[in-house]
Amino acid sequence: MHTVLDRRRFLGVTLAAGAFGPEACHPSAIASHGAAVAPASDEWSLIRDLFPLARDRIHMTGLLLASHPAPVREAIERHRGGLDEDPVTYLEENGGRLELETRIAAARYVGGDPDEIALTDSTTMGLALLYTALDLRAGDEILTTEHDHYSTKTSLENAAARTGATVKRIALYARSESASEEEIVGAVSAAMTLRTRVVALTWVHSGTGVRLPVAHIAAAVARANAGRDEKDRALLCVDGVHGFGSTENAVSELGCDFFVAGCHKWIFGPRGTGLVWGRASAWPAVRPTIPPFDMVPGKIPGRDRGGPPVLARRITPGGFHSFEHRWALAEAFRLHERIGRARVASRIHALNRQLKEGLARMPNLKVYTPSADALSAGLVCFDVAGLSPDAVVAKLGQKRIIASQTPYEKSYARLTPGLLNSPQEIDVALRAVRELT
């Protein structure tokens, strides 16, 4: 009975969006606001209670599509109700304010300015808007890797076809499980030439779980840019979706020029939301593609401050969107702030470390994700001798453990422990995998 009461009070505190600071999800902070203190071992189950995920299975596919937490669900329903009752009035009276609030919440989380944020519907949309709109010339070189997602690969090919630039793909490591920072940074440095105008990378590879040392790569790109004219600098662009919400790094501290991510995975944002963050000095290199509605004079208020149009907002696609989802995105960022970025990352690292160490002790099984926290995040890829990845996923599914397989030519089974999992669930998953070996 005491635990139920604690949870109800905890939920009441957490649902008061923005009412408390970033540490408000810690039990001691809850107590200071008049709620009973939850046992430290139970604090994560209190956060888990915000999500309606089915309790009769273990969910280890949070990298694909998130369940909406209670603050996000409530915001979606609030905006949906307003739009259903009087769509035009609700949009005209609230649209500009809510759009700005969403940008402000996103900017607080990435560590940038709201004017540096373009809002999108997904990682794929953001990558396409960025890469196909870069101001490239014939003879320019786009440097990317063999490890990137189809969306990056295709968007870069489209950019090359439009501009006459060339795409060069390299391997960053010989073996994912033993990849090192020196090997990765060295590969990028060695591949850059005077013609390199774009370095397009993925922060956490969904096919192996390798997490790139982006800040060190950014330093290498900066060294290569030293002495170049502004028009000849190489831009470092990152697909960051699987590090966004799962690691301790603020985006603006990575050193990249552009960062693209969907928000409906590790961030727990509404389905169909995403963003592109870019340094203010880098945005002039991108040409608008889809006309943005919030730039129409005299319509929706923005933040032009009497100066020229804000470039990031020119990249945000206009048209009518699923506004109730976009405007509820702010609640997802606020929830992460209340829990605390460092605590989220520490929890995810601990669960993934437990999983990797358990898998590494099993016979007839190979782990492809690096063991070091610095080179991994929330994804663990492996295979079991004698079983195809889809067979591993199917057999785990029969035991009510929801896994996935990597959607690449070389496919592996994949488990992705996240904030909503527990050490006990990791133990259950390990026992299930051990039975397969």
**Domain tally, the chain:** 3
d(CA 343, CA 349): 10
Identify whether 84 is part of a domain: no
Per the document, the length of the chain is 437
Residues 320 and 417 in one domain: no
Residues 58 and 132 in one domain: no
Domain boundary residue among 279, 311, 338?
Answer: 338
Name which of 270, 117, 143, 145 is nearest 203 in CA terms: 145
pLDDT digits (tens, 9 = 90+) for 146-176: 999 999 999 999 999 999 999 999 999 999 9
Residues 182 and 233 in one domain: yes
pTM: 0.88
CATH number at residue 250: 3.40.640.10
Identify whether 18 is part of a domain: yes
Residue 19 banded pLDDT, cuts 50, 70, 90:
very low
Residues 313 and 368 in one domain: no
Residues 385 and 248 in one domain: no
Residues 239 and 160 in one domain: yes
Mean pLDDT of 408-433: 96
Supply the pLDDT for residue 42.
75
Residues 267 and 233 in one domain: yes
d(CA 189, CA 187): 6
Identify whether 87 is part of a domain: no
Domain boundary residue among 288, 310, 338?
Answer: 338
Name which of 271, 204, 269 is nearest 239 in CA terms: 204
Supply the pLDDT for residue 230.
87
Identify whether 260 is part of a domain: yes
Residues 236 and 280 in one domain: yes
Residue 231 banded pLDDT, cuts 50, 70, 90:
confident
Identify whether 75 is part of a domain: no
Identify whether 73 is part of a domain: no
Write phi, then psi, for 33 (nearest 5 degrees): -105, 15
> Side-chain half-sphere of 59: how many Cα atoms within 13 Å?
17
Identify whether 323 is part of a domain: yes
Residue 418 structural domain = 50-67+340-436
Residues 233 and 131 in one domain: yes
- Quick check: 38 pLDDT over 50? no
Domain boundary residue among 279, 305, 338?
Answer: 338
Residues 225 and 114 in one domain: yes
Residues 144 and 266 in one domain: yes
pLDDT digits (tens, 9 = 90+) for 355-374: 999 999 999 999 999 999 99
The most distant pair of C-alpha atoms in the chain lies apart, rounded to whole Å, by 70
Identify whether 121 is part of a domain: yes
CATH number at residue 423: 3.90.1150.10
Residues 256 and 320 in one domain: yes
Residue owning tokens 């492809």: 368
Supply the pLDDT for residue 41.
52
